[in-house]
């Protein structure tokens, strides 16, 4: 037995340069014969695996199972596996000869001490590997923890990032391993695995380690899918409030006030750029993950090509799509009680279409058709394509490319500003005047918002609260809405959404 | 491989091809058509599995079927998570696949029924109820039982068909494809808006499947009238399977789109198919 151990030990030893080719070959063989077939059987699905860089990188993921490292190793092509090392805890994997050999040989791991030792650098081996141009798989939580819970990240990841400023960090969120083989279970249960890969990024080395660790954690959590529904009653969808009006500054001011007020009642998310979160501590950027993150480059390109205009010109159209997707992703009702939108994709597109496409000539039947096109209930007939492509390309894009189905809000806060006042405010801010910045169009748009709101009120039971901005300020509007939301929540049949 | 009645395989291949090409052409229209190529691709493999079941020894075909059923169960349990304490019942559910298929190998329907029923209604509920108390017992049990009913009880009927003369399995494949295609093109059965289109799709699927059943049946020594009824039964079961899949997807908060294109796509494709297997098998086995 002893000679066998010595032989395996010498092969698995990374320090033995002469035997490295043999070790690499055995490692690749082991992955071809055991690791990858087992994971293929489990059914690993990768999202955006192509984002893993070809050069050295630090893959950072949540950690709930012994399977995590194997899954992350499969992100790399086989030829690169010998140069990728999961970082393992020395106190756990160094406990016995068997564990040590398994982790070193099957997983190609390098070990670190979780507790600092006097005079030694616990991250020494990690830093050495990065200096050598190798890639690392790092679990900053430190241990597997409770299944399905992402614990705070330790500062080690921040220290590595600070030491290697250009190092690419690849956030990955794993779901599935925590149900297959959670901590404390002996037998794994075959289920599927999802590995959601995020864009590689670098972090400024000027930040302190704790701050970097928190940023990395947020980037990992941003890739988390909405939690899977567990047996039991389903939570109500969030209560959606859309703040609409012709003046963006007034809208934003009111949006922030409402967000702050509703955040005091229950957890609230603000759909704007950037995404905001509000709770007892006030309004801040989200510390939890936001479920949807997609690249909008091709959407912008399509919008530029089809010449979308006004509020949804080019990249602004892609931003609107992204915001509507995020809005929709909260439908499961587990992440927020209130969703407040700085504008609303459905209402904005409808109002602009009404003002531009129909030139203010309101026709309820046509508008209802538009609502159906936008909510994906009907397709624009081919014979009408040219008309839409020419006059309202954003409606055509949303409908034909199935980009997003904007959710209908529960309450529309309509800010009514006299056109002359709106123009005066635009001029006072010194903004560059756009084609649509004139009193006639703003008046038409204002009217269109009113008509769209009435239509949604009539057909979708949306509650509309109109405020004259000359009389009501943002505080009083937020207070009125706060009161209305509390009333709605107090109703015994309040399910959160009248549209559900 | 048994070369007897080779043209039944050809008819199945033709059905895959005839529905596959329009599926590819329609996909560019988006919406509900986007999922059609995936469905056709699934049928290329599934038709191959049906041919293997029909013509290759059970020692090869049954393990392949077993793997497919295990894969489907795995996807199902991934999408319909149980309580953490119920993970053992998932293992037992997996175990029921080889048990059911072994009963088919023994060619004893009594053993098959006993194994399934005792397992489903006596052993499994006891297993789930054991251990510490946690809320959600009935919901969890419902999830396990539905998975086993669809992917073990119904799925194992595909193996039972392998005991029938060559051509029966192929006819089943043809009938399911012809029942599913119009319903997928027109959109799944629904009430309210778009109902008329889905009803037309259903009607077309009934006519196509009944016609194909009547036309194909004499070639496998079954009376045309029996083939026609088999077609109607398959269409009905496929429709029922589609309704169940849509309801399950809703309950699991999966959007129609993700149920058709995402993780749940396999379930959307396989459930209506295996749902039709028991009715078809028992009709031809006992009445035709």
Q: What is the pLDDT of residues A417-474, one digit of tens each?
A: 888 888 888 888 777 777 777 888 888 888 889 989 988 988 888 889 888 888 888 8
Helix (H) or strand (E) holding B134: none
pLDDT value at position A498? 32
Question: Hey, are the CB atoms on B31 and A234 less than 8 Å from each other?
Answer: no
- The rounded percent of chain B whose pLDDT value lies above 70 is 93
A40 and chain B in contact, CB less than 8 A: no
Question: Hey, are the CB atoms on B143 and A191 less than 8 Å from each other?
Answer: no
What's the token pair of residue B41? 């691709």
- Residue ranges of domains in chain A: 2-221, 239-490
Is the CA virtual torsion B197, A381, A394, A248 positive or negative? negative
Question: Hey, are the CB atoms on A192 and B252 less than 8 Å from each other?
Answer: no
pLDDT value at position B160? 93
Please give the Cα distance from A69 to A193 (Å, whole number): 13
Q: Which residues pair with A168 in a beta bridge?
A: A57
For A98-107, the CB contacts below 8 A with 24+ separation are A101/A8, A101/A9, A101/A12, A104/A12, A104/A13, A104/A14, A105/A8, A105/A11, A105/A12, A105/A26, A105/A27, A105/A30, A106/A30, A106/A34, A106/A35, A107/A69, A107/A70, A107/A73
Alpha helix locations (H) across chain B?
6-26, 36-55, 58-79, 87-105, 109-117, 124-129, 137-148, 155-161, 168-186, 195-216, 224-251, 256-261, 265-282
Nearest residue of chain A to residue B139 (CA atoms): A231
B192 and chain A in contact, CB less than 8 A: no
Which residues of chain A have a CB within 8 Å of the CB of B250?
none
Q: Which of A230, A327, A369, A371 should we substitute to test contact with B (largest number of B Cβ atoms within 10 Å)?
A: A230
Nearest residue of chain B to residue A193 (CA atoms): B78
Lowest mean pLDDT among A229-243, A259-273, A365-379: A229-243
Nearest residue of chain A to residue B252 (CA atoms): A229
**Alpha carbon of B25: minimum distance to chain A alpha carbons (Å):** 16
Query: Is the peptide bond between A312 and the residue preceding it cis, with omega within 30 degrees of 0?
Result: no
Q: Which of B87, B258, B259 should we substitute to test contact with A (largest number of A Cβ atoms within 10 Å)?
A: B87
B36 and chain A in contact, CB less than 8 A: no
B74 and chain A in contact, CB less than 8 A: yes
A191 and chain B in contact, CB less than 8 A: yes
Partner-chain residue, chosen from B31, B84, B135, that has the shortest CB–CB distance to A147: B84
Q: What is the pLDDT of residues A33-80, one digit of tens each?
A: 988 888 888 788 888 888 889 888 999 999 988 889 999 999 999 889
**Alpha carbon of B124: minimum distance to chain A alpha carbons (Å):** 16
Question: Hey, are the CB atoms on A45 and B263 less than 8 Å from each other?
Answer: yes
Q: What is the pLDDT of residues A138-175, one digit of tens each?
A: 999 888 877 777 888 888 888 888 888 888 999 999 98
Q: What is the 3-state secondary structure (H, E, C) of chain A?
A: CHHHHHHHHHHHCCCCCCCHHHHHHHHHHHHHHHHHHHHHHHCEEEECHHHCCCCCEEEEECCCECHHHHHHHCCCCHHHHHHEEEEEEHHHHCCCHHHHHHHHHHCCCEEECCCCCCCCCCCHHHHHHHHCCCEEEECCCCCCCCCCCCCCCCCHHHHHHHHCCCCEEEEEEEECHHHHCECCCCCCCCCCEEEEECCCECCCCCCCHHHHHHHHHHHHHCCCCCCCCCCCCCCCCCEEEEEEECCHHHHHHHHHHHHHHHHHHCCEEEECCCCEEEECCEEECCCCCCCCCCCCHHHHHHHHHHCCCHHHCCHHHHHHHHHHHHHHHHHHCCCCCEEEEECCHHHHHHHHHHHHHCCCCCCHHHHHHHHHHHCCCCCCCHHHHHHHHHHCHHHHHHHHCCCCCCCCCCEEEEEECCHHHHHHHHHHCCCCCCCCCCHHHHHHHHHHHHHHHHHHHHHHCCEEEEEECCCCCHHHHHHHHHHHHHHHHHCCCCCCCCCC
Nearest residue of chain B to residue A401 (CA atoms): B30
Question: Hey, are the CB atoms on B87 and A402 less than 8 Å from each other?
Answer: no
Partner-chain residue, chosen from A179, A229, A400, that has the shortest CB–CB distance to B252: A229
Q: What is the pLDDT of residues B171-208, one digit of tens each?
A: 999 999 999 999 999 887 776 666 788 899 999 999 99
pLDDT value at position A15? 57
Q: Higher-confidence residue: B19 or B85? A: B19
Q: What is the pLDDT of residues B222-244, one digit of tens each?
A: 899 999 999 999 999 999 999 89
Q: Taking chain A, what is the end-to-end CA distance rounded to the nearest angstrom?
A: 67
pLDDT above 90 (res B62): yes
**What is residue B33's DSSP assignment?**
G
Q: What is the residue-wise DSSP string for B181-229? A: HHHHHH-S--SSTTHHHHHHHHHHHHHHHHHHHHHHGGGGT--HHHHHH
Question: Hey, are the CB atoms on A187 and B91 less than 8 Å from each other?
Answer: yes
Nearest residue of chain B to residue A378 (CA atoms): B194
Which residues of chain B have a CB within 8 Å of the CB of A234?
253
Which residues of chain B have a CB within 8 Å of the CB of A147?
84
Asked if A266 contacts A442 with a C-beta cutoff of 8 angstroms, the reply is no
B77 and chain A in contact, CB less than 8 A: yes
Which residues of chain B have a CB within 8 Å of the CB of A229?
81, 251-253
B78 and chain A in contact, CB less than 8 A: yes
**Alpha carbon of A431: minimum distance to chain B alpha carbons (Å):** 41
Q: Higher-confidence residue: B167 or A117? A: B167
pLDDT value at position B152? 93
Q: Which of B85, B139, B250, B253 should we substitute to test contact with A (largest number of A Cβ atoms within 10 Å)?
A: B253
**What is residue B164's DSSP assignment?**
S
Question: Residues, chain A, total?
Answer: 500
A179 and chain B in contact, CB less than 8 A: yes
pLDDT value at position B1? 39
**Alpha carbon of A43: minimum distance to chain B alpha carbons (Å):** 8
pLDDT value at position B26? 85
Q: Of chain A residues 99-158, which have a CB less than 8 A from chain B?
A: 147
Partner-chain residue, chosen from A187, A229, A231, that has the shortest CB–CB distance to B253: A229
pLDDT above 60 (res A101): yes
Which residues of chain B have a CB within 8 Å of the CB of A185?
87
Lowest mean pLDDT among A106-115, A217-226, A439-448, B277-286: A106-115
pLDDT level of residue A287 (50, 70, 90 thresholds): low
Closest CA to A50 of A196, A161, A202: A196
Asked if A492 contacts A345 with a C-beta cutoff of 8 angstroms, the reply is no
Which residues of chain B have a CB within 8 Å of the CB of A332?
253
pLDDT level of residue A2 (50, 70, 90 thresholds): very low
Please give the Cα distance from B79 to B253 (Å, whole number): 10
Closest CA to A191 of B77, B105, B249: B77
- Residue A498, classified by CB atoms within 10 Å of its CB into exposed (0-12), middle (13-18) or buried (19+), is middle
Nearest residue of chain A to residue B264 (CA atoms): A192
Q: What is the CATH number of domain A2-221?
A: 3.40.1130.10
pLDDT value at position B98? 93
Partner-chain residue, chosen from A176, A187, A379, that has the shortest CB–CB distance to B78: A176
Which residues of chain A have a CB within 8 Å of the CB of B128?
none
Q: Which residues pair with A182 in a beta bridge?
A: A65
Q: Is B56 helix (H, G, I), strand (E, B) or coil?
A: coil
Q: Taking chain B, what is the end-to-end CA distance rounded to the nearest angstrom?
A: 26
Asked if A254 contacts A415 with a C-beta cutoff of 8 angstroms, the reply is yes
What's the token pair of residue A98? 């068997």
pLDDT value at position A98? 77
Asked if A146 contacts A201 with a C-beta cutoff of 8 angstroms, the reply is no
B144 and chain A in contact, CB less than 8 A: no
For A473-478, the CB contacts below 8 A with 24+ separation are A474/A250, A474/A253, A474/A254, A474/A256, A474/A257, A475/A257, A477/A254, A477/A257, A477/A258, A477/A413, A477/A415, A478/A254, A478/A257, A478/A258, A478/A260, A478/A261
Q: Of chain A residues 368-387, which have a CB less than 8 A from chain B?
A: 376-377, 379
Closest CA to B283 of B236, B215, B229, B223: B229
A185 and chain B in contact, CB less than 8 A: yes
Asked if B168 contacts B8 with a C-beta cutoff of 8 angstroms, the reply is no
pLDDT level of residue A293 (50, 70, 90 thresholds): very low
Helices B168-186 and B224-251 pack at an angle, to 10 degrees, of 50
Confirm whether the ipTM is greater than 0.90: no
Q: Which of A47, A190, A335 should we substitute to test contact with B (largest number of B Cβ atoms within 10 Å)?
A: A190
Q: Which of A44, A192, A377 should we substitute to test contact with B (largest number of B Cβ atoms within 10 Å)?
A: A192
pLDDT value at position B148? 92
Size of interface A-B (CB pairs under 8 A): 64
Which residues of chain B have a CB within 8 Å of the CB of A43?
71, 74-75, 78
Which residues of chain A have a CB within 8 Å of the CB of B31?
376, 379, 402
**Alpha carbon of B26: minimum distance to chain A alpha carbons (Å):** 14
For B242-249, the CB contacts below 8 A with 24+ separation are B242/B183, B242/B188, B242/B189, B242/B271, B242/B272, B243/B188, B243/B189, B244/B150, B244/B271, B244/B275, B245/B271, B245/B272, B246/B188, B248/B80, B248/B146
Please give the Cα distance from A154 to A114 (Å, whole number): 10
Q: Is the pTM of this model over 0.90?
A: no
Q: In the predicted model, what is the mean pLDDT of chain A? A: 81
Please give the Cα distance from A200 to A217 (Å, whole number): 14
pLDDT level of residue A116 (50, 70, 90 thresholds): low
CA dihedral A313, A314, A315, A318 (to 10 degrees): 90
Q: Which residues, 6 or more positions from B248, have their beta carbon under 8 angstroms from its beta carbon?
A: B80, B146, B267
A227 and chain B in contact, CB less than 8 A: no
**What is residue B284's DSSP assignment?**
I
pLDDT value at position B151? 93
Please give the Cα distance from B82 to B94 (Å, whole number): 14
**Alpha carbon of B158: minimum distance to chain A alpha carbons (Å):** 22
Asked if B101 contacts B156 with a C-beta cutoff of 8 angstroms, the reply is yes
Looking at domain A239-490, which CATH architecture does it have?
Answer: 3-Layer(aba) Sandwich (3.40)
Nearest residue of chain B to residue A46 (CA atoms): B263
**Alpha carbon of A342: minimum distance to chain B alpha carbons (Å):** 26
pLDDT value at position A14? 56
């Amino acid at each position: 037995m002893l000679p066998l151990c010595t032989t395996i030990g010498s092969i698995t030893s990374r320090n033995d340069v002469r035997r490295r080719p043999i070790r690499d070959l055995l490692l690749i063989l082991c992955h071809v014969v055991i690791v990858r077939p087992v994971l293929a059987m489990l059914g690993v699905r990768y999202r955006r695996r192509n984002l893993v860089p070809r050069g050295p990188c630090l893959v950072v993921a949540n950690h709930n199972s012994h399977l995590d490292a194997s899954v992350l190793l499969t992100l790399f092509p086989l030829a690169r596996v010998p140069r990728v090392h999961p970082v393992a805890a020395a106190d756990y994997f160094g406990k016995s000869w068997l564990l040590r050999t398994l982790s070193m040989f099957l997983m190609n791991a390098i070990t670190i001490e979780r507790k600092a030792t006097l005079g030694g650098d616990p991250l020494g081996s990690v830093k050495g590997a990065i200096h050598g141009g190798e890639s690392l798989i790092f679990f900053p939580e430190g241990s597997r923890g409770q299944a399905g819970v992402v614990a705070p990240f330790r500062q080690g990841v921040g220290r590595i990032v600070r030491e290697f400023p250009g190092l690419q960090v690849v956030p990955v969120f794993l779901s599935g391993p925590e149900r297959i083989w959670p901590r404390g279970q002996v037998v794994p249960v075959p289920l599927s695995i999802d590995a959601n890969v995020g864009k590689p990024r670098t972090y400024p080395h000027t930040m302190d380690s704790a701050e970097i660790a928190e940023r990395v954690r947020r980037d990992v959590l941003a890739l988390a899918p909405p939690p899977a529904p567990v047996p039991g009653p389903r939570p109500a969808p969030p209560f959606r409030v859309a703040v609409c009006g012709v003046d963006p500054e007034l809208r934003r001011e009111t949006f922030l006030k409402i967000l702050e007020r509703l955040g005091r009642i229950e957890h609230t998310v603000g759909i704007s750029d950037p995404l905001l979160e509000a709770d007892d501590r006030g309004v801040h950027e989200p510390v939890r993950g936001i479920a949807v993150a997609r690249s909008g480059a091709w959407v912008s390109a399509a919008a530029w090509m089809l010449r979308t205009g006004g509020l949804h010109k080019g990249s602004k159209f892609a931003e609107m799509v992204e915001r509507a997707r995020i809005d929709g992703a909260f439908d499961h009702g587990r992440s927020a009680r209130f969703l407040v939108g700085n504008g609303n994709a459905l209402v904005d597109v409808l109002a602009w279409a009404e003002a531009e496409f129909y030139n203010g000539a309101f026709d309820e039947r046509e508008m209802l058709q538009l609502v159906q096109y936008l909510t994906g209930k009907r397709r624009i007939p081919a014979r009408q394509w040219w008309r839409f492509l020419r006059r309202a390309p954003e409606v055509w894009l949303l409908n034909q490319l199935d980009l997003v189905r904007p959710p209908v809000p529960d309450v529309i806060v309509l800010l009514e500003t006299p056109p002359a006042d709106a123009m005066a405010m635009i001029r006072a801010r010194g903004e560059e005047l756009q084609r649509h910045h004139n009193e006639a169009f703003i008046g038409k748009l204002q009217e269109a918002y009113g008509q769209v709101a009435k239509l949604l009120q009539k057909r979708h039971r949306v509650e509309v609260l109109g405020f004259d901005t000359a009389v009501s300020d943002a505080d009083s509007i937020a207070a009125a809405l706060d009161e209305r939301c509390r009333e709605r929540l107090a109703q015994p049949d309040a399910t959160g959404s009248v549209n559900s | 491989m048994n070369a007897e009645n080779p043209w039944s395989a050809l008819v199945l291949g033709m059905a895959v091809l005839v529905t596959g090409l329009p599926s590819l052409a329609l996909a560019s229209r988006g919406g509900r058509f986007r999922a059609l190529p995936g469905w056709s691709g699934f049928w290329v493999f599934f038709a191959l599995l049906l041919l293997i079941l029909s013509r290759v020894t059970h020692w090869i075909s049954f393990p392949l079927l077993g793997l497919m059923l295990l894969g489907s169960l795995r996807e199902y349990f991934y999408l319909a998570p149980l309580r953490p304490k119920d993970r053992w019942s998932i293992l037992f559910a997996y175990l029921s696949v080889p048990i059911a298929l072994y009963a088919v190998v023994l060619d004893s329907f009594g053993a098959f029924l006993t194994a399934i029923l005792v397992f489903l209604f006596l052993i499994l509920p006891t297993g789930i109820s054991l251990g510490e108390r946690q809320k959600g017992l009935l919901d969890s049990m419902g999830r396990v039982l539905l998975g086993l009913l669809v992917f073990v009880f119904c799925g194992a009927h595909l193996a039972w068909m392998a005991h029938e003369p060559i051509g029966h399995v192929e006819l089943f494949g043809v009938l399911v494809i012809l029942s599913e295609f119009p319903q997928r093109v027109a959109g799944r059965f629904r009430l309210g808006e778009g109902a008329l289109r889905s009803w037309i799709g259903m009607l077309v699927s009934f006519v196509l499947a009944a016609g194909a059943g009547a036309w194909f049946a004499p070639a496998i020594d079954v009376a045309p009238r029996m083939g026609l009824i088999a077609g109607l039964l398959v269409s009905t079961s496929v429709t029922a399977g589609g309704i169940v899949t849509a309801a399950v997807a809703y309950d699991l908060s999966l959007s129609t789109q993700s149920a058709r294109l995402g993780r749940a796509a396999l379930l959307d494709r396989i459930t209506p198919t295996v749902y039709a297997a028991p009715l078809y098998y028992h009709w031809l086995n006992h009445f035709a």
